[in-house]
A and B are shown apart, each in its own frame.
Chain A
Amino acid sequence: MYDMIILGGGPAGLTAALYGGRAAYKVLLLEPGAFGGKIASAAWVDNYPGFHKGIEGAELGQLLAQHAERFGVEAKKLKVEKIDLAGSVKKVIASGKEYLAKTVIIATGTPGTLPRALGAEGEEEFMGRGVSYCATCDAPFFKNKDVVVIGGGDEAMREALHLSRFARKVTIVHRQKQFQAAPKLLQKAEAEPKIEFMLETAVKKFEGQQLLEKVMIEDLKTKRQQELEAQGAFISVGRLPDTEFLEGLEKDEKGYIITNENMETSIPGVFAAGDVRRKSLRQVVTAAADGAIAATMAIKYLEKL
C-alpha cells in the first residue's frame, strides 16, 4: 500500500512526488510517456524562475525527475487503465497490475500527445499522410505545398507563421466570426503575404488517394461547400485534459477537474494539480506550485487517518 500515488510525471506530478518523498512517505508516480510532461516537447522554457538563461524543456523534465528520485520516489512508466477513487483505499490499475494507495494526486495535464481532434471525416485515415497536429515537427515536409491550418487561437497563428516559411500558401480556416489569437500575433499573420484567412468556415472532410490532396470546407453561413487543394492540414483546435477515466470527480464542461485552493477535489483523499485542473494560468511554475500544495495537503490528510 502506498501513501500517495501520483498520476502524471510533468512539473505538477514530479513536484508533488518530491514533496511527498522528502517527507518520507511512500510515493509511487505513474507516467506513460516522458518525464516532464508537456514541457518535454517544448523546445525552450524561458520563464521558470532560477534558470536565468532559459533551459531546454526536455532537460528541465529530466532534472525534475532526478530531483524526485533523490527523495526515494518510485517512478514507473505505465499507463493507467482504470481507477477506483471512491473508497478510503484508492485502487489504480496500470498495465494489468493493481496498485493501492491512501491518497491519489491527479496531475495528468492536457497531454501534448492528445491534441484535440477535429472530428472531420477522413481525419484519422490521413493522419501522417498530410494531417498533422504539430507544425513545428512537420512543416519541412511541406516545402512549396499548399496547407491549411484549422483553428483560431495563438497556437494556430504560430503554426501558420512557422508553416509560411516552408509552404507555398497557408490558409487558416476558423469556425468563428473572429480569431481568438492575441492581436499582436494576428497582426503578424495578417502581414505575411503567404497566409490567407477563411472565417466562419469549417473543414468537413479530408480527401485524397494515398496522401491528402484536398479538404472539403463549408461556409457556415450559406452552408455552401467547396474543395480546397491542400497537401497538408494542421489541426490546432486546442488541447484537452484526458479525464474521462476519472469517474465521480467534479469537473467542468471541458473536463478540467474542479478543486479548491488546497487542490482538494470532490472526493476525500483525491487531489488534482497542474494543467488538469480548472485554473487561469497554465505554466511550469504554477504547475509546480500546485504540486507542492497538493502533496502538502495529502500529507495533512494522511496524518489524520
Chain B
Amino acid sequence: MEGKPLEIGDADFNREVLEAEGPVLVDFWAPWCGPCKMVAPVVEELAKEFAGKVKVVKVNVDENTDSPSRYSVMSIPTLILFKDGQALETMVGFKPKDELADKIKAHL
C-alpha cells in the first residue's frame, strides 16, 4: 500500500488480491490497448489518493490469462474492486477519475 500500483501475475493473484486485507483495486490491462494507456495515469492517481486504504494492482492480460478469465474479463481496461476475496464492483472501459473514486469510496 505504498501509493503505487503493483504489477502482479496469476501466480500472485490469491495472495495479493483474494487473501489481502482490505479493498484491492485490480486493473486488467494490456500493452496493445489504447484506452488502457488512458486509464493508467488515472489508476496511478487513485493509488496515490487512496494510499494506505486501498491496494492497487495491475494484471497484464497478455501474460496472465487465468485471473481475467476467472472474472470473465472480456474487455479491457476493466477495473475490479475486491474485498475479502469478493469482486464487489466491475468498471469497464475508460471512466473519469472522480467516477472511479466515488465507486471506491462507497466500499471503504
CB-defined contacts of A232 to chain B, threshold 8 Å: 74
CB-defined contacts of B92 to chain A, threshold 8 Å: 127-128
B37 x A34 contact (CB < 8 A): yes
CB-defined contacts of A128 to chain B, threshold 8 Å: 73-75, 78, 90, 92-93
Interface mask (A61-84 → B, CB under 8 Å = 1, otherwise 0) = 000000000000000011100000
Interface mask (B71-91 → A, CB under 8 Å = 1, otherwise 0) = 011111110000000000010
Q: Which of B32, B34, B72, B74 contacts A40 (CB 8 A)?
A: B34
CB-defined contacts of B72 to chain A, threshold 8 Å: 129, 210-211
Q: Is A133 an interface residue (CB 8 A)?
A: yes
A137 with B74, Cβ < 8 A, contacts A34-B41, A79-B96, A113-B94 known: no
Q: Which of B35, B41, B73, B77 contacts A141 (CB 8 A)?
A: B73
CB-defined contacts of B73 to chain A, threshold 8 Å: 128, 141
B96 x A137 contact (CB < 8 A): no
CA distance A41 to B77 in the complex (A): 12
Q: Which residue of chain B has the shortest Cβ distance to A134 in the bound complex?
A: B35
Q: Is B45 an interface residue (CB 8 A)?
A: yes
A33 x B75 contact (CB < 8 A): no
B45 x A77 contact (CB < 8 A): yes
A33 x B93 contact (CB < 8 A): no
Interface mask (A235-260 → B, CB under 8 Å = 1, otherwise 0) = 00000000000000000000000000
CB-defined contacts of A131 to chain B, threshold 8 Å: 75
CB-defined contacts of A211 to chain B, threshold 8 Å: 72, 74
Q: Is A14 an interface residue (CB 8 A)?
A: no
B98 to chain A, nearest CB (A): 6
CB-defined contacts of B61 to chain A, threshold 8 Å: 140
A58 x B37 contact (CB < 8 A): yes
B16 to chain A, nearest CB (A): 23
A77 to chain B, nearest CB (A): 6
Interface mask (B35-71 → A, CB under 8 Å = 1, otherwise 0) = 1111011100100000000000000011000001000
A176 to chain B, nearest CB (A): 27
Interface residues of A in 27-49 (CB under 8 A from B): 32-34, 40-43
Q: Which of B45, B62, B76 contacts A138 (CB 8 A)?
A: B76
CB-defined contacts of A33 to chain B, threshold 8 Å: 38, 42, 94, 96
Q: Which residue of chain B has the shortest Cβ distance to A38 in the bound complex?
A: B34
CB-defined contacts of A112 to chain B, threshold 8 Å: 34-35, 38, 94
Q: Which residue of chain B has the shortest Cβ distance to A40 in the bound complex?
A: B38
Q: Is B107 an interface residue (CB 8 A)?
A: no
CA distance A59 to B32 in the complex (A): 14
Q: Which residue of chain B has the shortest Cβ distance to A145 in the bound complex?
A: B74
CB-defined contacts of B94 to chain A, threshold 8 Å: 33, 112-113
8 pairs from A and B in contact (CB 8 Å cutoff): A34-B41, A79-B98, A128-B78, A129-B75, A132-B74, A136-B32, A137-B33, A232-B74
